A and B are shown apart, each in its own frame.
Chain A
Amino acid sequence: MSAAQTIHDTGAVCRLDQLSPERGAAVLIGERQVALFRIDDAHGPTVYALDHRDPFTGANVLARGIVGTTGDRWYVASPLHKQRFDLATGECLDDETIRVDVHTVNIVDAHVHVDA
């Protein structure tokens, strides 16, 4: 059985170990493109899910931005024009009128489930 099928069977989008810490990866859920970000800290791994689409350019690239912190907020900076988006809320830190959708993530048995 291939990895993709295993995941399909469990309803997960990927295994946790397919995500590198602090570097995004995109998944395709139906038609929807979702950017996943894995952050590891003392409490273990957390995975955030945001729309992959950069609202400023319309390109599907947010998973490929650099992940960083300001204070204790985690964000991703768009690789195109560097606007930052809060990983937990989807708010744009550089333009309060803009927000991208966030999705609920559950980690079950080292597999990542996204409600999208």
Chain B
Amino acid sequence: MQTPGLRTRLVVVGHGMVGHRLLTELAEREVLDRFDVTVFGEEPRQAYDRVALSSFFDGATADDLSVVVPGFAETHGVRVVSGDAVVAIDRSAKTVTAASGEVALYDHLVLATGSSPFVPPMPGHGLPGCFVYRTIDDLEAIRDWSARDDVRTGVVIGGGLLGLEAANALRLLGLEPHVVEMAPRLMPVQLDDGASTALRNHIESLGVIVHTDARTSEIAAGPTGSVQRLVLDGADPIDAGIVVFSAGIRPRDELARGCGLAVGERGGVVVDDTMTALDDPNVSAIGEVAAIEGRCYGLVAPGYDMAAVVAARLAGATGERFVGADLSTKLKLLGVDVASFGDAFGETPRSQSIVWSDAREGVHRKLVVDVETGAVRGGMLVGDADGYQTLRLMASGDVPTPEDVRGLVAPASDGGGVAIGPDSLPDVAPVCSCENVTAGSLREAVSEGSHSIGELKSCTAAGTGCGGCLPLVTSLLNCELEKAGVEVSTALCEHFEHSRVELFGLIRFHRHGSWAEVLAAHGTGRGCEICKPVVASILASLGNGYVLEGDRAALQDTNDHALANMQRDGTYSVVPRVPGGEITPAQLIALGQIATDFELYTKITGGQRIDLFGARLEQLPAIWERVVDAGMESGHAYGKSLRTVKSCVGETWCRYGVQDSTSMAIALELRYRGLRSPHKIKMAVSGCARECAEAQSKDVGVIATEKGWNLYVAGNGGARPRHATLLATDLDDDELIRAIDRFLAYYIRTADRLQRTAGWFEELGADVPHLRGVIFDDSLGIADELDADIATHLDTYQCEWTATLEDPDRVARFVSFVNAPDAADPEIVMVSERGQLRPIRDEERGTLVSIR
């Protein structure tokens, strides 16, 4: 296939998930330098995670979804042409022609063009307001259309997996969602009647209106010419401001047809099990467009396998074959677990099924077993997919079915549970089906030094797809570490064997109130700069009063100790709290006067408040006395605690605002001010979806809706930004505050030291249903305790500066020199810049006249 002496010209058509996987497989095999690669992608952006497409409506951006490591193309010398579709292939000249007119020569051609959504040719299917659900562009168009004032209801045609995802998207966009399904039940391909009914109950309780046995005869336009209504055969029409088709997919084999390659009966480029086109050895097809034995695969995992087969072949290996695929699925649809695996419908002879059904809890679990041996062959789980990974391995024969099959069918919460430990998984057992990672390769990675989920993820890619395998990956990791005698060290430092979380539990349980008690009961040695602030923070979280009381003073970081932030030259900043960013003119004047009198540098911070810099230690009490007199209090800029609640002007002033975001921001800031936590906490409240307060980059973000508030959590700016995750929609004021109370209390109890909510939530596997369960359904049975934690905080809150100024002994601490309480550090030198003072720079010392 190679022109002698030259590099092989490889052209890939389609830069989707599978097309890109081919490139990374080649890169991993370190053979890309043997090729001149050109990739044509019709979409305006490089490959992204289509599987996670719906998270776009949960706040993920196109960048978040990208699967291309930045700089990939440059590093590997691959030419990626985005936004240009290939329109023709000439197999005799071995060229492809793109829409832009570019003609590219190939030695080998790979078709990875995926599928397109099938739009039933019903009357009205092309009206404005009709969409499909496949690309980021589609979702942007759906979002924009849904924002129109006259669009209130949305209809999804098709009640399969994707249709339900689309219905959830419409729901998140604030529309009344309908699903229209021709079959008598939802997800007819994966679920039987019982399972489907359980799913339907869940979905209806979330407000999705389901129409089954429903045939659409026409989509009718309204006076403006866009969609208005769905006309059904023999049923009332449904109002529809938007229609989304999700009625199946068709392989995009038009290029193949155009150049005379064989296509399957139901479409798709016919290939053999090496993914080579039947009638042209210089053409391969992979992903959804490939038809093997007449069948196309609509899942990403088989596509990845195909990409690996072609990469191996291009790298010179022989004998790599595509061996078929596991079509098991597990997903969370609208927060409901749905899984189906193996012979889910009991189609193999001599099988029978065992069903556990609890209509009250909406749980339906069915296992198909062999009549004679009792071995699990398949099943479907709705409402509770506990044990899915292991059951799936039993169905594929990779692990034996235990004696008591009936024990497997009940969910763990009802005394059942899949008792098989990760230890009994054979090496060949696939653990992560998205990335095709076996138990064996995970074990190998652990033995080679990957000792955390993060390391395992980056080293094996396990868990980076749908994430469904993470619980099993975690238990396998822990089990391997234990076996290897690797101390899974969660010890804080040499003085405490405990993690922060354990220590929190111990201190809470024993009601310790001082460092001496904690150290004597649980530690060794005398402590250090790691454990001391942790214990100080835990004691403060548990409401032990003034943070500098008794032996706790010695534990605090210098910032907490000085109740101010130390700057590079040893001076401090003064940051009064400005709740919600709202400040009166009188307070502004007071701050201005204080800054003038003490010659402090002033700056508006990124957190909507005013920072006064350059205060010497011995000046802090006098400055704060003036700040407190002006009616302001400590902003806790120094503590691991609530920073600011950013707000926008909201409904009060803004023409778009739908709720009073400023008042809510102030209420939240006053509620959580001073709450000590593992790391700082930032919040924001926006008055409408325009999001001027940037709530989605905060630990807690609140965005007003027509009906209440949407709550986002675990966002982060800073060095590793994370878009916040939507936790709940349309909460009223009380529901919102209760949810935030519990979220914060749960975080404070369970996070590691210096772990922001984003890192903490990622470590929980970004498991939204879990978090929703804890907060809204009390799934851990600790909601009362979490509420009580916040109640204690509210009871014990005090402004730390007010409390300091009340007590002369506390004030006496603020001196630069104990033997010269009034003296200033003579080496602190300020110079003037733009009309204010700033610390002198080293190189300026001795060259500039000092001003202070």
- Whole-angstrom CA separation of A20 from B553 in the bound complex: 9
Give how many B residues have a beta carbon under 8 Å from the other chain's beta carbons: 35
Taking the nearest CB of chain A, how far is it from the CB of B562, in angstroms? 7
| B529 partner, pick from A13, A66, A74, beta carbons under 8 A | A66
Residues of A within 8 A of B529 (CB): 65-66, 68, 77, 82, 84
- Could you list 15 further interchain pairs (A-B, Cβ under 8 angstroms) beyond the known A27-B819, A28-B823, A64-B617? A14-B818, A20-B554, A22-B526, A23-B553, A27-B817, A59-B569, A59-B570, A61-B558, A61-B566, A64-B558, A64-B562, A66-B533, A66-B554, A68-B527, A80-B568
Residues of B within 8 A of A36 (CB): 818
The 8 closest A-B pairs by CB, nearest first: A68-B528, A79-B558, A77-B529, A66-B529, A59-B570, A23-B554, A28-B817, A69-B526
Chain A contacts with B in 46-73, Cβ cutoff 8 A: 57-61, 64-71
CB nearest neighbor in A for B569: A59
| B778 on interface, CB distance cutoff 8 Å | no
| B448 on interface, CB distance cutoff 8 Å | no
Taking the nearest CB of chain B, how far is it from the CB of A82, in angstroms? 7
| A64 partner, pick from B494, B532, B561, B568, beta carbons under 8 A | B561
CB nearest neighbor in B for A4: B819
Interface centre among A33, A59, A77, A80 (most CB of B within 10 A): A59
| A102 on interface, CB distance cutoff 8 Å | no
| B825 on interface, CB distance cutoff 8 Å | yes
| A92 on interface, CB distance cutoff 8 Å | no
| A88 on interface, CB distance cutoff 8 Å | no
| B192 on interface, CB distance cutoff 8 Å | no
| B820 partner, pick from A28, A57, A67, A80, beta carbons under 8 A | A28
19 example contacts (A-B, Cβ-Cβ < 8 A) are as follows A14-B819, A20-B554, A21-B554, A28-B819, A28-B823, A57-B568, A58-B842, A60-B570, A64-B561, A64-B566, A64-B570, A64-B617, A66-B557, A68-B532, A71-B525, A77-B529, A79-B558, A80-B566, A82-B529
Interface centre among A27, A68, A82, A84 (most CB of B within 10 A): A68
- Whole-angstrom CA separation of A7 from B47 in the bound complex: 75
Residues of B within 8 A of A18 (CB): 818
- Whole-angstrom CA separation of A66 from B558 in the bound complex: 7
* Known contacts A7-B819, A68-B528, A77-B529; is-contact A60 B827 (Cβ 8 Å): yes
* Known contacts A64-B561, A66-B533; is-contact A26 B526 (Cβ 8 Å): no
Taking the nearest CB of chain A, how far is it from the CB of B571, in angstroms? 9
* Known contacts A66-B528, A66-B529; is-contact A59 B568 (Cβ 8 Å): yes
CB nearest neighbor in B for A8: B819
- Whole-angstrom CA separation of A20 from B555 in the bound complex: 12
Mark each residue of chain B from 544 to 580: 1 if its CB lies under 8 Å from any CB of chain A, else 0: 0000000101111111011000101110000000000
Main secondary structure of the interface of B (DSSP, over half): loop
| A26 partner, pick from B525, B533, B568, B817, beta carbons under 8 A | B817
CB nearest neighbor in B for A79: B558
| B478 on interface, CB distance cutoff 8 Å | no
| B282 on interface, CB distance cutoff 8 Å | no
- Whole-angstrom CA separation of A47 from B310 in the bound complex: 72
- Whole-angstrom CA separation of A84 from B529 in the bound complex: 9
Residues of B within 8 A of A23 (CB): 553-554, 561
| A25 partner, pick from B526, B568, B818, beta carbons under 8 A | B818
| A105 on interface, CB distance cutoff 8 Å | no
| B95 on interface, CB distance cutoff 8 Å | no
- Chain A interface category by residue count: 35 or more
Taking the nearest CB of chain A, how far is it from the CB of B40, in angstroms? 51
Contact B825 A60 (CB under 8 A): yes
| B818 partner, pick from A26, A59, A60, beta carbons under 8 A | A26
| B816 on interface, CB distance cutoff 8 Å | yes
Chain A contacts with B in 5-33, Cβ cutoff 8 A: 7, 13-14, 18-23, 25-28, 31, 33
Taking the nearest CB of chain B, how far is it from the CB of A77, in angstroms? 4
Residues of B within 8 A of A77 (CB): 528-529
Residues of A within 8 A of B532 (CB): 66, 68
CB nearest neighbor in B for A22: B554
Residues of B within 8 A of A28 (CB): 816-817, 819-820, 823
Contact B842 A69 (CB under 8 A): no
Mark each residue of chain B from 803 to 818: 1 if its CB lies under 8 Å from any CB of chain A, else 0: 0000000000000111
* Known contacts A22-B554, A59-B570, A79-B566; is-contact A69 B528 (Cβ 8 Å): yes
Residues of B within 8 A of A67 (CB): 554
- Whole-angstrom CA separation of A58 from B843 in the bound complex: 12
CB nearest neighbor in A for B825: A60
Residues of B within 8 A of A7 (CB): 819
Taking the nearest CB of chain A, how far is it from the CB of B555, in angstroms? 8
Mark each residue of chain B from 527 to 549: 1 if its CB lies under 8 Å from any CB of chain A, else 0: 11110110000000000000000
Residues of A within 8 A of B526 (CB): 22, 68-69, 74
CB nearest neighbor in B for A74: B526
CB nearest neighbor in B for A59: B570
Chain B contacts with A in 240-287, Cβ cutoff 8 A: none
Contact A69 B525 (CB under 8 A): yes
Taking the nearest CB of chain A, how far is it from the CB of B294, in angstroms? 65
- Whole-angstrom CA separation of A65 from B554 in the bound complex: 9
Residues of A within 8 A of B494 (CB): 70
Mark each residue of chain B from 597 to 624: 1 if its CB lies under 8 Å from any CB of chain A, else 0: 0000000000000000000010000000
Chain B contacts with A in 479-531, Cβ cutoff 8 A: 494-495, 525-530
- Whole-angstrom CA separation of A23 from B528 in the bound complex: 12
CB nearest neighbor in A for B562: A64
Residues of A within 8 A of B617 (CB): 64
Interface centre among B533, B551, B568, B816 (most CB of A within 10 A): B816
Chain B contacts with A in 797-852, Cβ cutoff 8 A: 816-820, 823, 825-827, 842
- Whole-angstrom CA separation of A7 from B494 in the bound complex: 40
Residues of A within 8 A of B825 (CB): 33, 60
* Known contacts A69-B527, A79-B566, A80-B568; is-contact A33 B817 (Cβ 8 Å): yes
Taking the nearest CB of chain B, how far is it from the CB of A80, in angstroms? 7
Contact A70 B528 (CB under 8 A): yes
Taking the nearest CB of chain B, how far is it from the CB of A34, in angstroms? 9
- Whole-angstrom CA separation of A74 from B555 in the bound complex: 15
Taking the nearest CB of chain A, how far is it from the CB of B812, in angstroms? 9
Contact A61 B570 (CB under 8 A): yes
Contact A65 B819 (CB under 8 A): no
Residues of B within 8 A of A84 (CB): 529
CB nearest neighbor in A for B821: A4
Mark each residue of chain A from 71 to 103: 1 if its CB lies under 8 Å from any CB of chain B, else 0: 100100101101010000000000000000000
Taking the nearest CB of chain A, how far is it from the CB of B819, in angstroms? 5
Residues of A within 8 A of B562 (CB): 64
Taking the nearest CB of chain A, how far is it from the CB of B36, in angstroms? 49
- Whole-angstrom CA separation of A60 from B558 in the bound complex: 13
- Whole-angstrom CA separation of A100 from B287 in the bound complex: 65
- Whole-angstrom CA separation of A67 from B819 in the bound complex: 21
Residues of A within 8 A of B570 (CB): 59-61, 64
- Whole-angstrom CA separation of A116 from B433 in the bound complex: 69
CB nearest neighbor in B for A19: B818
Taking the nearest CB of chain A, how far is it from the CB of B91, in angstroms? 65
- Whole-angstrom CA separation of A74 from B528 in the bound complex: 9
